[in-house]
């Protein structure tokens, strides 16, 4: 299937597509800063040909090294499923951003061997989420809480349901909506977002904390928030609609210490734009 993302703003929310692209920029800058500020050893970042000179100047100034690793077709977003390019197709680079040559070598080797454990650790991901990824990615390359559906509570830091539209706090797939390790990492990353753009960061946080519905069916994910509906291509082999009703931060307020809640319920169609 052709990759795509579409954002359909709701009435009086026409500014959201622009806001989402600003949130994506904010997230990318925060990712960059996590390496610069030694919060982790490496990040995966895009390098666009139109910004080549400025980007290289920035890396140089900050003492950072970019290791070109994947060629991505122009107009497509980076995901772990990368299609080979056809001859003559326009592309941009995606690769590892590191501080030392040694770390670059470690990542190059790990990448050749598909060693996700080493790659994940270098990228600062928690072990529980690395294990979750290694276990689930081979069967579903868009592993958003593969075993959950129905009402789900959790931390905004763990909410990756809007990842393809821009808003997210961490880079990895959180192993659960209430993964404490992800939350800890997310808090450190979010602090950086707040330093870059306080108002936008707060808005991003509230969006991820607020209600949304994630509906995956036949290779298309539809995410509905109070402000917009997002559509993105996803793992095509989901035979029954899988719906997650994200109820945000309630779990934290209750402080019950319970595991994230998932109550199975009959799937209801939520394809209307209301």
- Least CB distance to Zn ion at residue 249 (A): 18
Site string for Zn ion, 78-107 (x = CB under 5 A): ------------------------------
Stretch that binds Zn ion, among 94-102, 121-129, 210-218, 236-244 (CB under 5 A): 121-129
- Apex 42 CA angle, 38 and 45, nearest 5: 120
Would you count residue 129 as binding Zn ion (CB under 5 A)?
Answer: yes
- Least CB distance to Zn ion at residue 252 (A): 16
Tokens of 272: 């209307």
State how far the Cα of 233 lies from the Cα of 240, in Å rounded to an integer. Answer: 16
Rg from Cα positions in the chain: 18
Using an 8 Å Cβ cutoff, are 187 and 157 in contact? yes
| C-beta of 95 vs 154, nearer to Zn ion | 154
Stretch that binds Zn ion, among 21-29, 108-116, 126-134, 146-154 (CB under 5 A): 126-134
- Least CB distance to Zn ion at residue 165 (A): 22
- Least CB distance to Zn ion at residue 239 (A): 27
| C-beta of 7 vs 179, nearer to Zn ion | 179
- Least CB distance to Zn ion at residue 57 (A): 36
- Apex 147 CA angle, 141 and 153, nearest 5: 110
Stretch that binds Zn ion, among 12-20, 69-77, 122-130, 227-235 (CB under 5 A): 122-130
Contacts with Zn ion in 164-203 (CB under 5 A)?
Answer: 175, 179
- Parallel/antiparallel/unpaired status of strands 212-217 and 65-73: unpaired
Q: End-to-end alpha-carbon separation of the chain, Å?
A: 28
| C-beta of 66 vs 173, nearer to Zn ion | 173
- Alpha-helix runs per DSSP H in the chain: 16-36, 52-61, 101-112, 116-122, 127-136, 180-196, 198-209, 250-254
- Least CB distance to Zn ion at residue 34 (A): 18
State how far the Cα of 185 lies from the Cα of 196, in Å rounded to an integer. Answer: 17
| C-beta of 101 vs 135, nearer to Zn ion | 135
| C-beta of 158 vs 229, nearer to Zn ion | 158
- Residues in contact with Zn ion, total (CB under 5 A)? 5
Using an 8 Å Cβ cutoff, are 212 and 224 in contact? yes
Would you count residue 128 as binding Zn ion (CB under 5 A)?
Answer: yes
| C-beta of 102 vs 135, nearer to Zn ion | 135
Q: Among residues 155, 189, 197, which one has the least CA distance to residue 175? A: 155
Would you count residue 44 as binding Zn ion (CB under 5 A)?
Answer: no
- CB within 8 A of 236, min separation 6: which ones? 1, 218, 219
Residue 42 β-bridge partners: 98
- Least CB distance to Zn ion at residue 145 (A): 11
- Least CB distance to Zn ion at residue 129 (A): 4
Residues that bind Zn ion (CB under 5 A): 126, 128-129, 175, 179
């Amino acid at each position: 299937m052709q990759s795509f993302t579409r954002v359909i703003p709701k009435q009086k929310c026409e500014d959201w597509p622009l806001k989402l692209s600003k949130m994506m920029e904010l997230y990318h800058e925060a990712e960059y800063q996590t390496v610069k500020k030694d919060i982790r050893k490496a990040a995966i970042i895009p390098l666009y040909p139109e910004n080549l000179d400025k980007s290289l100047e920035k890396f140089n100034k900050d003492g950072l090294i970019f290791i070109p690793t994947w060629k991505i077709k122009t107009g497509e977003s980076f995901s772990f499923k990368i299609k080979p390019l056809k001859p003559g197709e326009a592309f941009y680079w995606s690769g590892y951003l590191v501080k030392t040559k040694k770390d670059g070598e470690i990542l190059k080797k790990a990448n050749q061997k598909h060693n996700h454990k080493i790659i994940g650790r270098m990228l600062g991901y928690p072990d529980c989420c690395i294990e979750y990824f290694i276990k689930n990615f081979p069967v579903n390359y868009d592993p958003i809480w593969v075993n959950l559906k129905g009402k789900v509570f959790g931390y905004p830091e763990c909410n990756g349901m809007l990842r393809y539209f821009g808003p997210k706090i961490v880079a990895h797939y959180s192993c659960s909506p209430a993964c404490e390790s992800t939350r800890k990492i997310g808090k450190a990353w979010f602090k950086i977002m707040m330093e870059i753009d306080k108002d936008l960061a707060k808005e991003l946080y509230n969006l991820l904390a607020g209600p949304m519905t994630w509906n995956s069916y036949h290779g298309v994910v539809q995410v509905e928030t109070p402000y917009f509906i997002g559509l993105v291509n996803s793992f095509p082999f989901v035979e029954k609609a899988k719906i997650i009703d994200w109820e945000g931060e309630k779990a934290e307020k209750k402080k019950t210490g319970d595991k994230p809640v998932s109550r199975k319920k009959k799937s209801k169609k939520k394809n209307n734009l209301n």
